[in-house]
A and B are shown apart, each in its own frame.
Chain A
Amino acid sequence: MGVKNIIITGIGGQGVLYLSSLLRRALVEKYGAVTGYDVRGGAQRLGHVASIIRFEDSGDAARRLAIDFDDGACDFALALEASELLKFNAKLSSRSLAISDEFIINPTNIRRRDGTYYGFEAIKRHFMAITGKFVHANFRGEAAKKFNGPLSANLIMLGRLLKETGALLGLEDIETACNEEEFKIIKYGFEAI
């Protein structure tokens, strides 16, 4: 109990910012306040995008929270593109639970020289060594199969995150923050993945 720190990351166009807006809305309803920041620089150009979400779950509303948090203090991380979470290596520790899509997009600078990039297996080994729990799946493929396009992967992953957070935030908490169709997908992520 206390302050909880969440990282959501991916690349521009995957829906990182939309996902974090749903989560923030639900957290405010439940806990009264959130803080944090977004990295939006690459939102339009397939670059790095991230959201930091912080909240206090023990009712100490008077405590002032910085928008950023300390190294090693991440509780939950959601990587819509697996290699983007490497940018937050310093924030992760054995207290962190990370959920990642197996989907990887080679950066343009790697492509330009036709170089090789990290494969998912290497990324998996990396995060398994530094986090307390590393959950991964082909969320993008699952979304394409079940929900008419891969862009719903973010909502499926949110469902999985809710499942992992336990009582911190439940399906019922997110229901008011999203529409019916979105809720269906989140619920699928919660129950089926």
Chain B
Amino acid sequence: MKSAAEDFFTIHAGRRLVLSAAGAAARGAYEAGAGLVLTYPGSPVVETFDLLASPESPLKSRCRIIINEHVAYHQALGYSLAGGRSFLIMKHVGVNVASDPMHYSAYTGVNGGMVILVGSDPGANCSTGEFDVRFYSLHTHIPILEPRDFGETVAATRNAFEISERYKLPVMVVIPSAFCYGVGSAQSGEAAPVKTAPGFVNSPDYTCVGAFAVKRHEALMDKISRLQNVFPDFESDALKPDFINNGGALIMASGIYRDYAHEALFELGLSRNHSIYSPLATYPLNHASLLKAFTAEEYKKIIIIEDLEGFLETQLCGFMTQNKITAEIFGKNYFKCAGELKYPEVKNILKRLLEDGDPLCCEGAPSVSISRGEGFLEPVMREGTFCPGCPHRAFFYALNKYISPEDVLGGDIGCSSLPPHFSSWLTCMNSGASIASGVALANGRGGGAKKQKVVSLIGDSTFFHGGLQTIMECAASDSNQICFILDNGWTAMTGHQPTFNTRPFQRQADGAPQALSIKKILESFGVKRIYEADPYRINKFKALLNEIIDSEDGFSAVIVKRECRLQAKKRKDSRNEKPIAEGLEPAETFEIIKGRCAGCNECYSVFTCPAIFKNEEGELYINQDICVKCGVCRQICPNGAICKSESSYGR
């Protein structure tokens, strides 16, 4: 049996594939012959890069994980200006980081097709924010495609390269997280030869200063106007909206909501009574095709179904005002702006809006109410937690013994940000030491009136992504904080992509630099107090905390180094590789000795290791199927009840 990735690249055109939307976008980029694939890892679009960079992929040597989205965007633009096709993959918050070059790229234009796949996250299922990334296009003027099903995601990503080359603009393909993680059937197309960059040719178009900038702005507006008005002589079928005119109300739906609308109308028995207009290109909206739709029918009621904040609605209202079209609009006054829009909600709102005067229309709709009688159980939120053996669990366990709830703990993005959210804040990449430096300034030396300790966190991946400048600044100003750099060796949260300190392990083999030493970087930045600690040696780590937590004034950095246990185990099991950090290599099996356990629950309720269970009699035990033998529980047990199991002796 072939692996899924093998199938993905060898399947003939016209065959059916089962793909997530993130995978479908990868297939589209492969079929388009992308010559360069760049990313900074971010859920929900990690799978797109992982597929294209997989060992089976013909594009694997063209795939690169870049230090951050800003640098990645510039690289993709440069490759495109040199004539090659570049494919850039990022999550919606990555667009914030890339937004500066993104604005200019619309001015300079592109040569080879440049496509940016953006995974948005309504519901913030895998992100720290859920803003509507599409609004970037109202000021960058970068066209957006929002594919409506899995098959179309392949085609839309492939065609986005054509559209980019035709209009000399980067093109964004936006897919929401539920769809990225959605799985459906798609048909494969023919894979084009890889379009590499023939070479850069100088042009005055690439200088966006003074009068040149004004000219480029004019040229950009002209391109947008062309995109708005290409109908009826569509230059590309790929841009045609889906339009079914049945009279009645006009339902305008973007992305996956086209099929929500279709299914809801079907279930409500209203498929033949109302019209659906669904644009693939949601920026700019195609005015020519909209005019055609509004000429065909005088719609009194327009219902707009889309994620988040009313991006289509904003544009449609502008279009209607410009063209003196009047109709009642039901958009964000009915469909929520925040959170993920679910099918039952869409169906119920359509039912409310469309069933007036036709009581039979809801016949057949399933009952949505369940009886909440005696014995009915409500679901309990399952807090995320660190994996068994996670070095972050040991780190936080120790740190929490030395700081009080009144102290300041600056949080950052990464595994260390997992619930229960020990930190005082959690916003964007590099928020830990940066915001902490402002708080430290406000407090002054000595922690101000409250004598607050200020400590901050940053993961190794985030350290390279955006933390370098902050650490330089903190070192230069001797910011009064202790910054813990949680170095687990990988971008673990998004699937163990390599970071700059693990580069020798990374997948892109050509030109890979040597691993960088965080300690040497800190030294070169002029950080005066640098400590190193292993959270698995928890008593030694606690001794260090005890020594520095109250006594230091000014900036200190502690490199907390221990490889992600999942990744270390995976590498050892599959390739017999050694862990990155030197020192203790967990191998022993532990058990809780019944007679010694006093039931204090330190391991169960405070340390909360998922491998420690409580049986029906309230006795604690270690589940050996889950335990990864990190041995930290043995060190934290105040009663000495956790010991090497007998089977471990004699090894």
Within 8 Å of chain B (Cβ to Cβ): is A59? no
A45 touches B384 (CB 8 A): yes
Contacting residues, chain B, for A45 (C-beta < 8 A): 384-387, 418
Q: Mark A158-177, 1 if CB is under 8 A from B, else 0.
A: 00000000000000000000
Contacting residues, chain B, for A106 (C-beta < 8 A): 614
Q: How far is the CA of A41 from the CA of B384 in the complex (A)?
A: 9
Contacting residues, chain B, for A132 (C-beta < 8 A): none
B181 touches A112 (CB 8 A): no
Between-chain CB contacts (< 8 Å), 23 pairs? A35-B182, A35-B184, A35-B185, A40-B44, A40-B126, A42-B382, A63-B266, A67-B178, A67-B184, A86-B377, A86-B378, A89-B370, A89-B379, A92-B370, A93-B367, A108-B382, A109-B380, A113-B605, A114-B601, A114-B605, A129-B376, A130-B376, A151-B625
Contacting residues, chain B, for A28 (C-beta < 8 A): 16, 18, 185
Minimum CB distance partner of A177 in chain B? B1
Quick one: given A47-B384, A66-B256, are A109 and B420 in contact (CB under 8 Å)? yes
A34 touches B18 (CB 8 A): yes
Q: How far is the CA of A92 from the CA of B260 in the complex (A)?
A: 20
Within 8 Å of chain B (Cβ to Cβ): is A123? yes
Q: How far is the CA of A113 from the CA of B43 in the complex (A)?
A: 31
CB distance from B486 to the nearest CB of A (A): 15
B608 touches A37 (CB 8 A): no
Contacting residues, chain B, for A137 (C-beta < 8 A): none
Q: Mark A28-72, 1 if CB is under 8 A from B, else 0.
A: 100011111111111011111001010000000001111111111
Residues of A in contact, count (CB < 8 Å) = 66
Within 8 Å of chain B (Cβ to Cβ): is A146? no
CB distance from B76 to the nearest CB of A (A): 26
Q: Mark B152-187, 1 if CB is under 8 A from A, else 0.
A: 000000000000000000000000001101111100
Residues of B36-86 contacting chain A, CB below 8 A: 43-44
Contacting residues, chain A, for B183 (C-beta < 8 A): 20-21, 24, 34-38, 51, 53
A40 interface neighbour in B179, B181, B385, B566, Cβ under 8 Å: B181
- Besides the contacts A113-B605, A129-B371, what 15 more A-B pairs have beta carbons closer than 8 Å? A25-B18, A34-B18, A34-B183, A35-B149, A37-B178, A37-B181, A66-B343, A67-B259, A70-B366, A83-B377, A108-B384, A111-B605, A122-B377, A130-B376, A151-B625
Contacting residues, chain B, for A107 (C-beta < 8 A): 380-383
Within 8 Å of chain A (Cβ to Cβ): is B125? yes
Q: How far is the CA of A24 from the CA of B182 in the complex (A)?
A: 12
CB distance from A68 to the nearest CB of B (A): 4
Contacting residues, chain A, for B185 (C-beta < 8 A): 28, 32-35
Contacting residues, chain A, for B256 (C-beta < 8 A): 66-67
Q: Mark A5-28, 1 if CB is under 8 A from B, else 0.
A: 000000100000000110011001
Within 8 Å of chain A (Cβ to Cβ): is B262? yes
Q: How far is the CA of A72 from the CA of B386 in the complex (A)?
A: 34
Tell me the number of A-to-B contacts counted with CB atoms below 8 Å.
187
CB distance from B244 to the nearest CB of A (A): 11
A72 touches B382 (CB 8 A): no
A36 interface neighbour in B184, B347, B368, B383, Cβ under 8 Å: B184
B178 touches A68 (CB 8 A): yes
A72 touches B368 (CB 8 A): yes
Residues of B230-269 contacting chain A, CB below 8 A: 256, 258-260, 262-264, 266-267
Contacting residues, chain B, for A109 (C-beta < 8 A): 380-383, 419-420
Within 8 Å of chain B (Cβ to Cβ): is A135? no
Question: Which of A41, A67, A87, A123 lies at the interface centre, i.e. has the most chain B CB atoms within 10 A of its CB?
Answer: A67
A71 interface neighbour in B179, B259, B264, B344, Cβ under 8 Å: B344
Q: How far is the CA of A6 from the CA of B126 in the complex (A)?
A: 23
Chain A residues engaging chain B, CB cutoff 8 angstroms: 11, 20-21, 24-25, 28, 32-42, 44-48, 51, 53, 63-73, 83-84, 86-87, 89-90, 92-93, 105-114, 117-118, 122-123, 125-126, 129-130, 144, 149-151, 179
CB distance from A6 to the nearest CB of B (A): 12
Minimum CB distance partner of B124 in chain A? A41
B383 touches A126 (CB 8 A): no
B420 interface neighbour in A21, A93, A112, Cβ under 8 Å: A112
Within 8 Å of chain A (Cβ to Cβ): is B30? no
Q: How far is the CA of A122 from the CA of B380 in the complex (A)?
A: 14
B18 interface neighbour in A24, A105, A126, A151, Cβ under 8 Å: A24
Quick one: given A33-B184, A37-B179, A37-B183, are A72 and B370 in contact (CB under 8 Å)? yes
CB distance from A106 to the nearest CB of B (A): 8
Chain B residues engaging chain A, CB cutoff 8 angstroms: 1, 4, 16, 18, 20, 43-44, 125-126, 149-150, 178-179, 181-185, 256, 258-260, 262-264, 266-267, 342-344, 347, 365-368, 370-371, 373, 375-387, 418-420, 492-493, 566, 601, 604-606, 608, 610, 614, 625
CB distance from A104 to the nearest CB of B (A): 10
CB distance from A134 to the nearest CB of B (A): 13
Q: How far is the CA of A87 from the CA of B368 in the complex (A)?
A: 15
Contacting residues, chain B, for A150 (C-beta < 8 A): 625
CB distance from B173 to the nearest CB of A (A): 17
Quick one: given A45-B386, A90-B344, are A111 and B366 in contact (CB under 8 Å)? no
Minimum CB distance partner of A88 in chain B? B379
A86 touches B343 (CB 8 A): no
B379 touches A68 (CB 8 A): no
Q: How far is the CA of A34 from the CA of B181 in the complex (A)?
A: 14
Q: How far is the CA of A66 from the CA of B260 in the complex (A)?
A: 5
CB distance from A161 to the nearest CB of B (A): 17
B126 interface neighbour in A41, A123, A144, Cβ under 8 Å: A41
Contacting residues, chain B, for A112 (C-beta < 8 A): 383, 420, 605-606, 608
CB distance from B642 to the nearest CB of A (A): 17
B385 touches A47 (CB 8 A): yes
Q: Which 3 A-B pairs have the closest CB atoms?
A: A68-B343, A37-B182, A86-B379
CB distance from A126 to the nearest CB of B (A): 5
Q: How far is the CA of A71 from the CA of B348 in the complex (A)?
A: 10
Q: How far is the CA of A113 from the CA of B610 in the complex (A)?
A: 15
CB distance from A57 to the nearest CB of B (A): 14
Contacting residues, chain B, for A38 (C-beta < 8 A): 20, 181-183
B625 touches A32 (CB 8 A): no
Contacting residues, chain A, for B384 (C-beta < 8 A): 41-42, 45-47, 108
B267 touches A70 (CB 8 A): yes
Contacting residues, chain A, for B385 (C-beta < 8 A): 45-47, 108
Contacting residues, chain A, for B382 (C-beta < 8 A): 11, 42, 46-48, 84, 107-109
Q: How far is the CA of A60 from the CA of B363 in the complex (A)?
A: 21
CB distance from A100 to the nearest CB of B (A): 13
Q: How far is the CA of A53 from the CA of B184 in the complex (A)?
A: 9
Minimum CB distance partner of A140 in chain B? B625
B418 touches A68 (CB 8 A): no
Q: How far is the CA of A33 from the CA of B185 in the complex (A)?
A: 5
B366 touches A39 (CB 8 A): no
